[in-house]
Structure 1
Amino acid sequence: MTKTIAIVVPCHNEEENVPLFYQAVTKTFAEIEDYQPIFWYINDGSTDGTLQAIQTLQTQDTNVHYIDFSRGFGKEAGMYAGLQNAKGDLYTIMDADLQDPPTMIPEMLKEIQNGYEMVGAQRVNREGEPVIRSFFSRLFYKLINHISQTKIVPGARDFRLMTPPVVAAVLAMGERNRFSKGVFSWVGFKTKYLPYQNIERQHGKTSWSFSSLFRYSINGIVDYSDAPLTFVSWLGVASFVGATIALIFIIARAMIYGDPTPGWPSLVSIFLMIGGLQLFAIGIVGRYVGRIYLETKHRPIYVAREIK
């Protein structure tokens, strides 16, 4: 009996890549026995002809499905929506730009058959990307793995093959602000990562700017570590100790040498320093409070115009 692999494909302005992705995956599955692909394209607020390209494929293949978002909700929402609606014996998430090579699926499937419950792709280099982006990416992985108990594999992609229990666990994590790399690591299960060389996207430009990646990284740190709060606490202690030492020094100096000049410059400097630290601390605490506030709204992760 032929089994199915549900392929979740978040898309944002991928008009040219949609048919190319379909052809590449279909070609790969022609060499895989006993499995067939079930495509789930998620149109995440595209402003080009992405939806029309998907609908054209659907008229040619009944195994092509799509979810059309009412607006752009982001890739995280797209992955969640796809996993929530797709049905299959196994599940995978792939980018439409073919940076996730379909040729890895047979090897992933082999590892699943060997007993692994989740098999992911790990990018071992970042050739073709700006140097500054690669630097901050490496810095992010080092930082979050140092301060978080949830370890994230450097270079791990969202591209992975998963069994139904893994998908059920991922969907059970119903937080609105999702950080997929942390979610996949947090749920556990027997996991293996397969290395591969970086592949440049086929057409179009990535929707991930440096600023959006930076915000995404901050969200990941806030979601999976309370280290910033601990840091702020120690910063407050250090500030208090420093101010106390400075005060003792100023008093001792005045007693020994006198104080012929007014002390307002030093006082203003201390006030500005303490005030800056307080604002910094409030900012960090505010990030956590803001996340709590958004979660308590219980808004849906996405809104679909059409699921077909």
Structure 2
Amino acid sequence: MNVLSLDGRPDLMISLVVPVHNEEAAIAPFLTAVTTAVEPLVASGYRFELLFINDGSRDGTLLRLIEAQQQDRRIRILDLSRNFGKEAAMTAGLDACRGDAAIPIDVDLQDPPALIPLLIDRWRDGYEVVLARRCDRTSDSFLKRRTAQMFYRLHNLIAAQEIPHNVGDFRLIDRQVIDALKRLPERRRFMKGMFAWVGFSTTVVDYTRAPRGSGETKFSGWKLWNFALEGITSFSSVPLEIWTYVGALISVGSFAYGSVTVIKTLYFGIDVPGYASLLVSMLFLGGIQLLGIGILGQYLGRVYSEIKQRPVYLLRREILAPTALGTDSLLRVDTRPRRVRKSS
């Protein structure tokens, strides 16, 4: 951690891992804010790389990044073959980053680059993970704040590994933590849970969440719902286990009701059963069964995704800044199938 250059200044590289998807308008303001934030750190000896992961953007995001790269050779670009989602894009960035520490950060400026020096200061104090916690989320809608609060409470109630409240992906993680994350083989990835699962010494820095700088959020209500399901099913088996108790409770209730019916018949004779109560009972039990099958299907679908062993992401190319000798900046990845000749 305490690496010093010959002149006594810190000789450390920090990687900013920035997934982007259709963020053309946000690139320039983000780079301006980052440059302003890290200039004092660069002057004191820190080195930075800005690792952008283009997650299948359909607008001019990639072109804006290439243009910015001509002005700032610290920029590296990973161009994925299609849109794999933010979790996969972040995984690609962490796999490729070269820094002694990495900071995943969004390009919309809701994660303030001005906080980067403070994160690094706490890291130099000896912490391996420095969390950026949103102490004020008034920039978010009331519905988003309430649903987020409910998710964190529910997740931490039933999951074996708790995740910190109001902490997103914005944090600093040491190289040791990055290497630990690279050892986790999940295809269906919930990065907040994985960050918490690996552990390491952790501290927290509070900040006020700003309004989005430009563009629109890529997370609709439906995507957030599926994201919450991903988090719960990735780190808890309680939704499966609870149906044992639900089944036992229904069985006990059915036995009790059957006993009451038998006693009434013995003492008062046979009465005509009600059609309405019979229909309600059938629909209730049918609904319970379908709900249980649906929860089982959520887990089974995730098992199916894992056993196929498809890669989390596919890299089309890595785009590096041109060197002083004029080397081509495009490093293409050849993914064409190759023929194998059969031996005679």
TM class, shorter-length: over 0.9
1:12-51 maps to which residues of 2 (within 5 A)? 12-32=21-41, 33-51=44-62
d(CA) in 2 for partners of 1:117 and 1:191?
A: 6
User: Structure 1: which amino acid aligns with 2:236?
Assistant: S
* Matched residue, 2:95: 84
d(CA) in 2 for partners of 1:85 and 1:156?
A: 24
Equivalent residues of 1:15, 1:48 under 8 A apart: yes
1:32-181 maps to which residues of 2 (within 5 A)? 32=41, 33-181=44-192
Pairwise CA RMSD: 1.3
Residues 138-180 of structure 1: CA deviation (Å, up to 9, x unaligned) = 0111111111121111101211111111001111112011111
Find the structure with the greater CA-based Rg: 2
1:195 to 196, 199, 206: 206
Question: How far off is 1:271 after superposition?
Answer: 2.5
2:288 to 254, 262, 277: 277
How many pairs are equivalent? 308
d(CA) in 2 for partners of 1:179 and 1:79?
A: 11
**Gap regions ≥5 residues in structure 2:** 6-10, 320-344
**Gap regions ≥5 residues in structure 1:** none
d(CA) in 1 for partners of 2:246 and 2:169?
A: 36
User: Structure 2: which amino acid aligns with 1:144?
Assistant: H
Residues 185-237 of structure 1: CA deviation (Å, up to 9, x unaligned) = 00000011111111111101100111111110111000011111121111111
* Matched residue, 2:332: none
- Identity, in percent, stands at 38
User: Structure 1: which amino acid aligns with 2:81?
Assistant: S
Instruction: Say whether residues 1:289 and 2:287 are aligned partners.
Output: no
What is the TM-score of this pair, normalised by structure 2? Answer: 0.87
Equivalent residues of 1:3, 1:34 under 8 A apart: yes
d(CA) in 2 for partners of 1:187 and 1:168?
A: 10
d(CA) in 2 for partners of 1:243 and 1:45?
A: 54
d(CA) in 1 for partners of 2:276 and 2:268?
A: 18
* Matched residue, 2:19: 10
d(CA) in 2 for partners of 1:258 and 1:194?
A: 72
